[in-house]
Amino acid sequence: MNETMIRDIAARIKGLRLLAGLTPEEVAKVVNVTPEAYKRYESGEDDIPVSLLHEISEFYKVDMTEILTGISPKLRDVCLVKKGEGLSVERYDQYEFESLAYKYAGRKIEPLLVTLRPEQNPELVSHKGQEFNYCLEGRMKVIIGNEEYILEPGDSLYFNPIKPHKMVSMDGKTARYLTVILL
């Protein structure tokens, strides 16, 4: 995500807080981050993880797409996103995410197309919900806690993402997978 997008998202987050008449410290407490981290997110200094954006959107009762794009999603029955038209989102720095349902209002799941580059070595992360990964191309290693799983095209993995986990491409090649996260 480029700096302009990060600043735009940060401004929308700040605007929601101001409309609610809350302090940064109050919102930080609700979303379980330090006030300093929240202030960095709101100022655009740090990119906000999608899981935190989801918590913020639930707190303010707005759709996450509205925070990401400034546009309220209108689709409630069907959402078509053509190949290559997904919304690029920054969930964690070491992954490339493309939201495949960003136009759908009131999502309960977040389907994302993820690209893993060989030069990326992400840190372990954890988040709420449930997660499903389906390998589309290349080979990838999924590390969950102390366990490692190798996924090849057609393989899938369903797990509790509260356990620290990460995905890495293998064989020095890019890997792509579909992840579906229950919000």
Tokens of 140: 């990838």
The helix-helix angle for 24-31 and 35-43 (nearest 10°) equals 110
| Single-letter amino acid, residue 34 | T
User: 64 by DSSP, 3-state: which?
Assistant: helix
**Same CATH fold assignment for domains 3-69 and 108-182:** no
pLDDT tens profile 21-80 = 999 999 999 999 999 999 999 999 988 887 888 899 989 988 888 888 887 777 677 878
Partners of residue 134 on adjacent β-strands: 156, 178
Question: What is the reported pTM?
Answer: 0.69
User: What pLDDT digit, counting tens, does each position of 123-147 carry?
Assistant: 898 888 899 999 999 999 999 999 9
**What is the fold of 3-69?**
434 Repressor (Amino-terminal Domain) (1.10.260)
What does the domain layout of the chain look like in residue ranges? Answer: 3-69, 108-182
Structurally, what CATH architecture does the domain formed by 108-182 represent? Sandwich (2.60)
